Amino acid sequence: MKAQAIYRRGIKLAQFILGLTLLVLIIAWMMGVFRRKTEPDLLPPRDAVPGLAKAEALKTETVHEIVKDMLIEAVGTLKAAGRTEISARVMAPIEEVNVRAGQLVQEGEKLIRLDDRALKTQRSQAQAALVAAEAALRQAENDYRRDRQLLERKAISQAQMDQSTANLEVSRAKLNAAREALAEAEVMLSYTLITAPRAGVVVDRLAEPGDMARPGVPLLVLYDPTSLRLDVPVMENLAVKLKVGESFRVRIDALNMEVEGKIDEIVPQAEAASRSFLVKVALPKQPGMYEGLFGRLLIPAGKRRYLCLPTAAIQTIGQLQFVTVLRPDGRLERRFIQTGRVGMPGRIEVLSGVKAGERVVLVQAPENPLPPVSG
């Protein structure tokens, strides 16, 4: 029994070792260990191929190393520093709205007129109360003068004189209150005509004739187009190096323009979620710039080095890109490359595949008939 158990364990161990070996062989095969390595695609020297140009006759260009300022883009939105919400100070129906969205208005221009009939009635009542208070004061003054003469002749008591004096003071107080009530009625009546507190552009019209205007509820929204700023969150490692008053380039994609902006304000508090500071960049007034447009703040962040080659040296198959490198021994070598951003017209950044100083053949030139790249 013991021998049989040892035999079964040996069989299981052998099966495990065999399976592990087979697995290692499969992985090695998939990695290409048992395949013959493909040598670089080298063409013979051009001098040795009949009908092709000599190596020195090929049009080539050197791969250059470029040193350029590195810019980091921070994206934001154009907003106006001078933004005003117009609302009524009294509750009344709206009779007229004289502006529309997008209209430019000047300071003091009439925007909205409210129904003023109820307030005119209140003003009339205040005027009548003022007339009554003035008449009551004249009567109290006459009574005071008469009672003073009677008191000198001992015709009335001191108590009656005190009462006359009190009546005169009350009448004067009522006259002052009536004057204040009339002034208040005049002020409230003036609120029925809403004018522009500053020059600006009407962003939104939130009310129409017939609506009820209520205190504190916006009716129109204005903004000053000369106060546009780019509000942009900037990563904290860059924001701490910025200073108020510094100038940076700002790109407005919708208008395809770049303008010079100046940092107007840096909110001294970082957003915990994004780890960024809100930076507000004042912009010069430009035609076509409106609130809400998308903008990019271009922040210099040191220098960067990259390789640059002409686009005329690139051959493309599907999504793959190749160049033909002229080696020092006169042989041609095709290499797979990865490109980056387009630089000046006709040149492009190359990320891998070539080195600085190597010469690439301009394969798109008619006098350089290179064999096509096979798939």
What CA–CA distance (Å, rounded) separates 313 from 59? 10
In this predicted model, what pLDDT tens digit does every residue of 30-86 receive, in sequence order?
777 777 665 555 555 544 434 344 555 678 888 888 877 778 889 999 998 888 889
Looking at the chain, the number of H-run helices and the number of E-run strands are 4, 21
In this predicted model, what pLDDT tens digit does every residue of 273-284 receive, in sequence order?
888 999 999 999
Confidence bin at 1 (pLDDT 50/70/90):
low
Give the residues across from 50 on adjacent strands: none
Cβ partners under 8 Å of residue 325, min gap 6: 332, 333, 334, 335, 354, 358, 359, 360, 361
What CA–CA distance (Å, rounded) separates 297 from 234? 9
* Residue that has been written with the tokens 């009949």 in this structure: 50
In this predicted model, what pLDDT tens digit does every residue of 164-197 receive, in sequence order?
899 989 999 999 999 999 999 999 999 999 999 8
Residue 94 clears pLDDT 90, i.e. is over it: yes
End-to-end CA distance of the chain: 65
Q: For position 346, what pLDDT does the model report? A: 80
Q: For position 49, what pLDDT does the model report? A: 39
Residue 253 clears pLDDT 50, i.e. is over it: yes
Which is it for the CA torsion 253, 254, 258, 263, positive or negative? Answer: negative
Supply the mean pLDDT for the chain.
84
Segment 335-358 mean pLDDT: 84
| Residue 12, helix vs strand vs coil | helix
What CA–CA distance (Å, rounded) separates 322 from 352? 11
Percentage of the chain exceeding pLDDT 90:
35
What CA–CA distance (Å, rounded) separates 347 from 311? 5
Measured from the Cβ of residue 176, the count of other Cβ atoms closer than 10 Å reads 12
